[in-house]
Structure 1
Amino acid sequence: MKRNVFILIAIVALTVGSYFVIELLNSNPPKPILTVEGKKVEVAQGSYCWEGLIDAKCVDTVSPHEIINVKNLKPITVSAQSELKIKYKKEPIENTLGVNRWINNKDSESIPIKRNVIRLPKEKGKHVYNVFANWDNGSSNYIFVVEVR
């Protein structure tokens, strides 16, 4: 009986320990989970700097519009002025979450965020965004595109 309890405790300890080791070794930033009108929004990795236990790297990418073309990122169709929710499995450092809407290849505007939610525009058409945040291990930025109908 004591042997079975010991084996069970050892298995639980190994499982929990493995999870923490994997997290420490992970050299990729957290990916946002974006939802609007009950639908998940596809994102593409933008520029980032991230430090894992073994390595650290900074990756600079092309502009958001070019990322959309290269990654063949498809827009999600949304209603005018719908709410988009931003969530991460690992919460970013407080007050570092931000969103920009790209007007063209060079110009963007900051979008207000309230409780990790942004309001999408009422203007019809495709709108390109990037969402960014900081963590203790670094910073990251992801691109997404919506089409207001």
Structure 2
Amino acid sequence: MKKFIFLLISILLITTSCSGNELKGTKPPIPDVEIDSEKIPVVRGGYCWYECADTATIPELVQGKEPLIVSKNSKITITFNYEPEPNQISITRMKKGEEKVYNQSLKVPSEQGVYYYKISARWDYDDLEADSSYAFVIEVK
């Protein structure tokens, strides 16, 4: 019900908008994620962007994708090549085999293992509201 109300409000705000911020395309943009200048494959998850779509959980979204092997403590760079840029981004990290969820800075952990990442992006301006989640998987060796 919350998503339906959010969708209704979003559509109303978008259709009555007079200013420059507007959603382009039929789905949210997929960000570029790089670790040590290596591009990481990213999968779009659930979103509200003109319409709302739900998807599987983050580990299930990237199931079957081969994790990219990365170095410990490497910097993670997330870039949205889209205007307007999201004004809120959060990162969540989950380690394979654990239920624990970490609020993650943009740095690869120092402990070896397979890690799942969720990026949550939100576009929240006076005349625009939208959000999207994304997932990627890495392996630290």
- TM-score, length of structure 2 as denominator length: 0.73
Identify the match of residue 68 of structure 2 among 47, 51, 76.
76
Aligned-partner SS, 1:65: helix
**Separation in 1 of the partners of 2:23 and 2:104?**
32
Q: Which residue of 1 aligns with 2:137?
A: 145
Which deviations, in whole Å up to 9, do the C-alpha atoms of 1:94-136 show, x marking residues without a partner?
xx11100024586422113xxxxx0110111110001111113
Q: What 5-or-longer segments of structure 2 have no aligned partner?
A: 1-21
Q: Which has the larger helix fraction?
A: 1
Structure 1 residue 25: Cα displacement: 5.7
The CA RMSD over aligned residues, in Å, is 1.9
Identity, % of aligned positions: 31
Distance change >3 Å, CA 60–CA 105, structure 1 → 2: farther
Structure 1 residue 78: Cα displacement: 0.5
For 2:54, the aligned partner's letter is D
Identify the match of residue 110 of structure 2 among 88, 106, 122.
122
Question: What is the correspondence of 1:55-66 to structure 2 with a 5 Å cutoff?
Answer: 57-66=51-60
Q: Which residue of 1 aligns with 2:9?
A: none
Structure 1 residue 24: Cα displacement: 5.3
Rg larger in structure: 1
Structure 1 residue 73: Cα displacement: 2.0
**Separation in 1 of the partners of 2:77 and 2:57?**
23
Q: Which residue of 2 aligns with 1:111?
A: 104
Identify the match of residue 86 of structure 1 among 48, 71, 78.
78
Aligned-partner SS, 1:40: strand
Q: 4+ residue runs of structure 1 moved beyond 2 angstroms? A: 103-107
For 2:40, the aligned partner's letter is V
Number of equivalences:
113
Structure 1 residue 68: Cα displacement: 1.5
Greater relative contact order: 1 or 2 (C-alpha under 8 angstroms, separation 6 or more)?
2
**Separation in 1 of the partners of 2:55 and 2:110?**
29
- TM-score, length of structure 1 as denominator length: 0.69
Distance change >3 Å, CA 124–CA 29, structure 1 → 2: same
Does the CA contact (< 8 Å) of 1:44 and 1:73 recur in 2?
no
